[in-house]
Amino acid sequence: MNATTKPDSTQLALDRTWLAHERTLMAWVRTSASMISFGFTIYKFFQFEPKAQRPEHVLLSPRNFAVILVATGIITLVAATIQHRKDVKRLSPYLETKPVSVAGPMAGLISVLGVLALLAAIFRG
């Protein structure tokens, strides 16, 4: 397509749809990163609390809550990434050129950092 021809309205709609999928995945990346970082912050905060002040028998310890929060962030991000890939794969045949995704690599990076935070909370107990 040259600079003088107008873009097809169907192609513009497809581009907007693809961008909507990218924005949705980035929103899940932000939500998951918040859950992971908040969970790890809780874990580190209570790690410095003296053991004498910690209650012995609690239903949900701060460490367990942190592990659950980090794991939930990771699981949510993986599910959102799988859904994003399915949506983009379904849309791909109709796009003139396949755009490069920024949200996909970011989701992968945050997932790796989340797994590292989860392992640190579990094994450094």
Q: pLDDT tens digit string along 88-99?
A: 999 999 988 888
Q: pLDDT tens digit string along 24-71?
A: 999 999 999 999 999 999 988 887 777 656 666 777 888 889 999 999
Q: How sure is the predictor about 1, in pLDDT bands with cuts at 50, 70 and 90?
A: low
Contact 15, 97 (CB under 8 A): no
Tell me the domain boundaries of the chain: 10-48+62-123
Burial of 50 (0-12, 13-18, 19+ CB in 10 A): exposed
pTM of the model: 0.83
pLDDT at 95: 87
